[in-house]
């Protein structure tokens, strides 16, 4: 018996990093999963990998800033697998980077659209299906950057703080429907979002990620997937409105080493090539 037997989930940003690790864990525990992502190659390859191990997964190309795309991903879960039990609003990027006075409104808004509006849309369109199923779990990826200053770029941090508080307000509204709403606040996690933009890549990043928190190792996508599994399962049936910190002790006492260059730029999804400097 798996911990998610007969459950159906949608995972945004599910084609790589934290999302892909969560797709694998959910499917291994018996869930059927819709992978909602813009990364066509990564998403379809992951579906094939899941199928090869006997799991159930479907890819749905999804831009989380577009309401129709979010609605279609959730509808795909219901039409393909018959119901919806959980959604993990996980799609993310670094977004606008640099000093506030040099940040363009366009880059600020693009960052907020992915990191905060995308979460709002996932919550909004999951509600009726979760209610029809008699309840369920809404999970979103926030960040330690939403809990304290200095742990991320300005727009990213503001959006993640918004995810934390939206989680709390949504939990209050939806408790009557037995819909639990929680978010996860990762610390420094070794994902393509960081390695693709860090000078020296994974080899250079790993030792730095081992130094920023009391536990002397990097965080990995599987660490976040384990928390998402708990929140999607019936084991967390009395947990709602919580910001679950998974950071190796960073918020208890760590010092963030800048993970991204501070020059003005826009850090897009990890699967997109990094633009060359002019």
Q: What is the pLDDT of residue 261?
A: 46
Q: What is the pLDDT of residue 259?
A: 45
Q: Is 266 a catalytic residue?
A: no
Q: Are 155 and 262 a contacting pair, CB within 8 Å? A: no
Which of 81, 156, 220, 266 is catalytic? The answer is 156
Q: Are 48 and 42 a contacting pair, CB within 8 Å? A: no
Which string of DSSP letters, residue by residue, matches 149-196? TTSS-HHHHHHHHHHHHHHHHHHHHHGGGTEEEEEEEE-SB--HHHHT
Q: What is the pLDDT of residue 256?
A: 58
Tens of pLDDT, residue by residue, the chain (278 residues): 899 999 999 999 999 999 999 999 999 999 999 999 999 999 999 999 999 999 999 999 999 999 999 999 999 999 999 999 999 999 999 999 999 999 999 999 999 999 999 999 999 999 999 999 999 999 999 999 999 988 889 999 999 999 999 999 999 999 999 999 999 999 989 887 666 666 666 777 788 888 888 999 989 999 999 999 999 999 999 999 999 999 999 999 876 555 444 566 768 776 666 655 54
Domains and CATH numbers, the chain: 8-247 (3.40.50.720)
């Amino acid at each position: 018996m798996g911990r998610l037997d007969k459950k159906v989930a949608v995972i945004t940003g599910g084609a790589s990093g934290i999302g892909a690790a969560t797709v694998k864990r959910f499917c291994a525990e018996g869930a059927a999963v819709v992978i909602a992502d813009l990364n066509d190659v990564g998403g379809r390859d992951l579906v094939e990998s899941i199928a090869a191990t006997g799991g159930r997964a479907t890819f749905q190309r999804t831009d989380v800033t577009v309401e129709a795309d979010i609605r279609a991903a959730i509808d795909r879960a219901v039409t393909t697998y018959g119901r919806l039990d959980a959604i993990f609003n996980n799609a993310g990027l670094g977004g606008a980077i640099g000093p506030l006075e040099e940040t363009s409104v366009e880059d600020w808004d693009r960052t907020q659209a992915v990191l905060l509006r995308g979460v709002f849309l996932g919550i909004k369109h999951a509600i009726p299906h979760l209610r029809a199923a008699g309840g369920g779990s809404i999970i979103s990826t926030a960040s330690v950057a939403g809990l304290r200053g200095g742990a991320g770029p300005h727009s990213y941090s503001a959006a993640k703080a918004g995810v934390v508080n939206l989680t709390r307000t949504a939990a209050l509204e939806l408790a009557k429907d037995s819909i639990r709403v929680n978010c996860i606040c990762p610390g420094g996690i070794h994902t393509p979002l960081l390695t693709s933009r860090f000078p020296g890549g994974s080899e250079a990043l790993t030792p730095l990620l081992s130094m920023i928190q009391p536990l002397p190792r990097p965080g990995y996508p599987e660490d976040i997937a384990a928390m998402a599994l708990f929140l999607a399962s019936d084991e967390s049936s009395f947990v709602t409105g919580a910001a679950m910190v998974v950071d190796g002790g960073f918020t208890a006492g760590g010092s963030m080493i800048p993970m991204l260059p501070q020059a003005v730029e826009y850090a897009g999804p990890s699967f997109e090539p990094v633009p060359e400097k002019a």
